């Protein structure tokens, strides 16, 4: 069975989001989007591949990453992070701050 984990951590304020789902859900959507952002250089990730990415992203770009989540990503998702949590995290995120992201699929 495939599982996917994805986390976002604020380096200055220590705020964080942590997603875990099986094949489909918000962690999967974020992982695939973050890999594309690493490919384009938006995510500073020393190493990444189709199933894993770890690196940093600026707050302004983090907004784009997390805003890409939609209601379908949360359909059937039973994790502890809800859509409202993402909105609260984004409201507190600072555009110039650096955030650490990490995602992997196993």
Cα(87)–Cα(67) distance, integer angstroms: 9
Per-residue pLDDT of the chain (106 residues; tens, 9 = 90+): 689 999 999 977 778 999 999 989 999 999 999 999 999 999 999 989 999 999 999 999 999 999 989 989 998 898 889 999 999 999 999 999 999 999 999 9
Residue 96 dihedral angles phi and psi, to the nearest 5°? -90, -10
Residue 9's DSSP bridge partners are 16, 100
- Output the pTM of the full model: 0.93
Which single residue is written with the structure tokens 């989540």? Answer: 69
Q: What is the per-residue burial (b if ≥16 Cβ within 10 Å, else e) of 40-55?
A: eebbebeebeeebbbb
């Amino acid at each position: 069975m495939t599982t996917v984990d994805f986390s976002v951590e604020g380096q200055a304020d220590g705020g964080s989001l942590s997603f875990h789902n099986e094949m489909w859900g918000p962690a999967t959507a974020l992982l695939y989007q973050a890999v594309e952002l690493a490919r384009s250089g938006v995510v500073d990730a020393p190493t990444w591949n189709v199933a894993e990415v770890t690196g940093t992203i600026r707050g302004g770009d983090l907004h784009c990453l997390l805003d890409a989540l939609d209601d379908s990503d949360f359909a059937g998702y039973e994790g502890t992070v809800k859509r409202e949590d993402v909105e609260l995290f984004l409201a507190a995120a600072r555009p110039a701050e650096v955030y650490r992201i990490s995602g992997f699929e196993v």
